[in-house]
Amino acid sequence: MVVEVLAGIALVSSAVKGIKSTIDTAKDIKDIAGSIEDLMTGAEQVEKKAKVKQKKGRAGQWQNYLRLRFKSVEETGDGTSIQEVAAEIIEKKQVEKEIFQMQLMINKKFGANTWNDIMIMREQRIEELEKRRNKAKVLAKEKAEEDSRRRRKVFKEIMNIILVVGFTTGIGYALFFLASKN
């Protein structure tokens, strides 16, 4: 857990450093875009881990620091101790600070509202992707239902054929039996 949160924070920090180094030249837009992606991925990792930590009550980077600093405070493990709450808030603030620095750099280099335009477009694409995924799920469910109906129909027809063949065989046997008696 701690490693994952640290990895998220490290990813955010390295993304900001990467953008700081490439934004002045702005020759390779792919590097900047990749760094922005790393930043957002790192921020999402920290957010997800904070949610998991709230559920599980595990220690994070700042929580361990606070526990070492104030030895009299013990970890409760349920997410309610002051160090657990402080660690969560500090981690979130650290990520917010890095994102804000990134926003300032991008807007300074490429004009006002560039960062907002990037975030709006990202949200639109995420929504479109989610719609496509939901549509694919609905189509897959409909296809599965159609396949199930088709299998039931085939099974029903096979059973009908078996019954007809069995009935016909029975009648043929009965007629043969009656004819052989006479």
Residue 173: inside a domain: no
Token look-up 């975030």 returns: 119
Q: Which residues of 70-99 are buried (b: 16+ CB within 10 A; e: fewer)?
A: eeeeeeeeeeebebbebbbebbeebbeebb
pLDDT of residue 169: 95
**How far is Cα 122 from Cα 36, in angstroms, rounded to an integer?**
11
pLDDT of residue 87: 75
Which pLDDT tens digit goes with each residue over 95-134?
A: 888 889 888 888 888 888 988 999 999 899 999 999 999 9
pLDDT of residue 78: 61
- The amino acid occupying position 102 is M
Residue 70: inside a domain: yes
Task: Provide the whole-model pTM.
Answer: 0.56
Q: Provide mean pLDDT across the span 19-24.
A: 69
Residue 137: inside a domain: no
3-state secondary structure of 92: helix
Share of the chain above pLDDT 70, in %: 72
Which tokens hold the place of 154?
A: 């085939």
Contact present, 66 and 81 (Cβ < 8 Å): no
Which tokens hold the place of 105?
A: 């750099």
Domain housing 99 = 2-111
**Band (82; pLDDT cuts 50, 70, 90):** confident
Which pLDDT tens digit goes with each residue over 25-46?
A: 656 677 777 778 878 888 888 7
Residue 57 has pLDDT above 60, yes or no: no
Structural domain count, the chain: 1
Q: Which of 15, 3, 16, 8 is nearest to 44 (CA)?
A: 8
Residue 182 has pLDDT above 60, yes or no: yes
**How far is Cα 25 from Cα 88, in angstroms, rounded to an integer?**
36
**H runs (alpha helix) in the chain:** 2-23, 29-56, 61-69, 82-110, 114-181
Which pLDDT tens digit goes with each residue over 149-168?
A: 999 999 999 999 999 999 99
- The amino acid occupying position 40 is M
